[in-house]
A and B are shown apart, each in its own frame.
Chain A
Amino acid sequence: MSHSAQINRRSFVIGTAAAGGLALGLDIPLRRAGVRAQAATPEINAWVVIKPDDSIVVRVVRSEMGQGTVTGLAQLVAEELEADWSKVSTEYPTPGESVRRKRVWGDFSTGGSRGIRSSHEYVRKGGAAARMMLIQAAANEWKVPVSECTAADSTITHAPSGRKTTYGKVAEAAAKLDPPSEVPLKDPKDWKIAGKPLKRLDTADKVTGKQVYGTDLKLPGILNAAIRDCPVQGGKIKSFDAAKAADMKGVKKVVKVGDSGVAVVAQTWWQAKTAVDAIPIEWDVGDKDKVSSETIAAWLKEGLEAPEAFVGNANGDAKTALASAAKKVEAVYSYPYQNHAAMEPMNATALYTPDKCEVWVPTQNGEAAFAATVAASGLSADKCDVHKINLGGGFGRRGAFHDYVTQAVLIAKEMPGTPVKLLWTREEDMTHGRYHPVMQAKLVGGFDKDNNLTALHMRLSGQSILASVFPQNLQQGMDLLTFQGLMRQGQEHAFSYTIDNLLIDHSMRNPHILPGFWRGVNINQNCIFIECFMDELAQSAGQDELEFRRKLLGKHPRNLAVLNAVAERVGWSTPAPSGIYRGLAHLKAFNAYVAAAAEISVERGGNKIKIHRLVAATDPTYAVNPAQIDRQVAGSFVYGLSALFYQECTVKNGAIEQTNFDTYDSMRIAEMPEVESIIMPSGGSEPWGGVGEPTICVAAPAVLNAYFKATGKRIRSFPLKNHKIAMTA
């Protein structure tokens, strides 16, 4: 779901494609493809197809999982194209076609809040180049200088003669022209389609039940599969008794999947699920059955004091400064495993023959799904393809990991010529996650005799995602991603407080539970750690929490700006109404600057929290669709607060204990606070920031800081249900 600038460049078919893919030259979208998409397709370039009826199809390779990226990218292309927005629709090219066309569309990966920010420039150039070619085609037809022609709303006008034509009429001629070599982009100040709060392009079918998700796919002759994989990750099958299922109604085949799973293929999924549940399976889990949440926590706790640790950020000499500090403040925090729990359980449909393997799958990364298909099928890449389907939620589970694709292909290989849809039960989904990693942190702050913060040591101890998922991206063993929000200057996750003596280091401890990129990734815990501890430091020094931060943020005006924005909106400088308590938090993440201010009240001695109001500010440099940003901010708070209050995956005998929403709860509408988002894009030439993830991390510490104000209780382990604290309407 996220990566830093240090990701290695790798070929995507080897390995897994998910780490951001290749760095793209800006020439890519303008380069004429070696092979046209379809003989009769009026493709102006890889990004823009215009049909004779003037309808426009914008190609999008980033995946739509609810975040609005497809609409946003189409806005950017349409803006430069000078398109009539009412005629714009979108389509996904397949990864197989991308390979055949020398990867003309670049990176398919949709994670790390990169959908728009890492492709805006080349997709805009795709739209602009198409516009230039369309105008040129009209000028050629009219035999007039191109400089006398203009385009707006899909119409080209030659002002001196008053002639007009439409994009549809000149598209075929335009497609034959060479692309321009110089493609200037509009000043965002002149945007008419981008930057506007337009409605999404993909809503209508979502309210009628017509949208086809992966679970809904129908193909001629399709069969359904259900699976049980070893409940202990990394475990294997010792034995199973297929006979128990073979005679059950509708069952076509019982299949061993790899060395750890048993699947049943049946006429209907309910038959397959019923049958696979009936199969006795003995597992070989090695010594992993000795692992529990308690053993993992104890191991991480040792790491808080371990002499060796990877240094992610440092300046001055924190240890010496702390040793001589006039006063020290210390706290230990811990963060649990969490499952993504997308509403649509993992699924994939595969159709295999010895000559071809096709997969239909909701995926955040078509190319990674393609790589999994190639690997599992054993066929060459030119015999494989993946058809992307819009996702019923992704949140990082469907980006770097395509275990369900591998399983579906392995099952389909046992049924050549028959399409097989594999759908996980919620129980399978909950217990075979790629979990938000566990992390503990010990923070020690040192003050001089005048109550100035002179030193901070933040020791992280816990699981590395990269060590499990992309070990090739470790740097001399260090996982830089662990330090999201805490990194050195110049990084998209740079730490923003200026402290004379700073040490942030990580003792890496990797249990066998598989970690993954979970919306926001490591900012979820890091922002709680640092922003709650900032309040602890301020309170220890007897200073206002906002003023304390401001003093340390002097070198980072954009951080300061978002923090000031939420403080002003929430009325920080004036007393809160009686019974209302406030808290603040902020961070830089995914190149965006975000802050939140919470107003809460508590009942029953602190066992119930009502969140009245959450003010959020975000500066993503540019805002492509403010209405969708509003929704991403509010949605990120639902995801993040569900985690804060309710969600923990505990480990017993090596397996995850929670199997469904009855033990892994999620916020409902009754608990939804009023979210006010302040979108404050600062523009300019700074890199664009992400939207889907950054704000997720500020809600929790803002609420926790308000909770301390309300109760005097500082909560340092999560979720809050473990402290018998719940949200209330």
Chain B
Amino acid sequence: MARLVINGQPHTIEVDPDTPLLWVIREQVGLTGTKYGCGIAQCGACTVHVEGEAVRSCSLPISAAEGKNITTIEGLAEGGTLHKVQKAWIQHDVPQCGYCQAGMIMAVAALLKDKPKPTDADINSTITNICRCGTFQQVRAAIHAAANA
């Protein structure tokens, strides 16, 4: 039995304690915006916020998330208003296939909370998500736009 708060909603979930947070979010809670890409915390497609920090949920057992506040891509917008990162993403037409973008956006949202005006070096050291379509040029432009929004 695991108790979590996801996007402000409390959940009590019966699940094997070794199950990664990613699969609890996707399968037990039913929020599929968070993606499976590698399962070994390499690609970042599964990035969510745990107590406000960007975490690769594929490699975090649910037992380690007990009682934590978790935000997924579905919970990033507040009161029907998109987060400034989501707005910048739309404005810059960032996604191609889009599969990695939820994780990318969650990683960027956490970065901006930590560093409201990140430098390119900050972006380089923090945003390490894989995007096989190669949206990086638009991602960088949109991060700076969001920071200045």
A residues with a Cβ closer than 8 A to B are: 65-68, 199-200, 202-213, 215-216, 218, 224, 249, 268-270, 341-345, 390-395, 423, 425-426, 627, 631, 634-639, 642, 660-662, 666-670, 672, 674-675, 729
Contact = CB atoms under 8 A, between A and B. Distances in A.
B137 A343 contact: no
B102 interface: yes
Given A209-B33, A393-B132, A66 B90 contact: no
A66 B95 contact: yes
Q: For the complex, would chain B's binding face be called helix, strand, loop or mixed by DSSP majority?
A: loop
Which of B45, B101, B139 counts the most chain A CB atoms within 10 A? B101
Contact of A215 (B36, B40, B73): B36
A204 B90 contact: yes
Given A209-B73, A210-B33, A636-B134, A669 B93 contact: no
A392 B98 contact: yes
Given A210-B33, A269-B27, A270-B20, A662 B40 contact: yes
A593 to B, nearest CB: 21
Given A205-B98, A631-B138, A667-B136, 11 more contacts: A66-B95, A68-B96, A203-B90, A207-B95, A218-B30, A270-B20, A393-B97, A394-B97, A639-B134, A669-B139, A729-B124
B26 to A, nearest CB: 8
B82 A669 contact: no
Nearest to B104: A669
B124 A670 contact: yes
Contacts of A393: 97, 99, 132-133
A67 B73 CA distance: 23
Nearest to B89: A207
14 contacts: A65-B97, A206-B98, A207-B102, A208-B77, A209-B31, A213-B32, A218-B32, A345-B36, A345-B37, A390-B98, A392-B35, A660-B42, A667-B134, A669-B123
B36 A669 contact: no
Interface of B: 16, 19-20, 23, 26-28, 30-40, 42-43, 45, 72-74, 76-77, 82, 86, 89-90, 93-102, 105, 121, 123-125, 127-140
A635 B96 contact: yes
Which 10 residue pairs are nearest across A and B when measured between Cβ atoms? A209-B33, A638-B134, A392-B99, A66-B97, A66-B96, A206-B98, A635-B134, A670-B124, A209-B73, A216-B32
B101 A669 contact: no
A86 to B, nearest CB: 15
Contact of B97 (A218, A224, A390, A672): A390
Nearest to A394: B97
A661 B40 contact: yes
A661 B41 CA distance: 9
A390 B96 CA distance: 11
A672 B136 contact: yes
Contacts of B77: 208
A661 B140 contact: no
B140 A672 contact: yes
A631 B89 CA distance: 14
Nearest to A661: B42
A693 to B, nearest CB: 13
| Most interface-central of B28, B36, B89 (chain A CB within 10 A) | B36
Given A209-B34, A636-B134, A662 B42 contact: yes
Contacts of A668: 124, 127-130, 136
A390 B133 CA distance: 14
Nearest to B124: A670
Nearest to A670: B124
Contacts of B38: 426, 660-661
Given A208-B73, A343-B43, A672 B16 contact: no
A203 B142 CA distance: 14
Contacts of A249: 16
A691 to B, nearest CB: 13
Nearest to A641: B134
Nearest to A666: B130
Contact of A660 (B39, B93, B99, B123): B39
A341 B125 CA distance: 23
Given A390-B97, A631-B135, A638-B131, A669 B39 contact: no
B23 A270 contact: yes
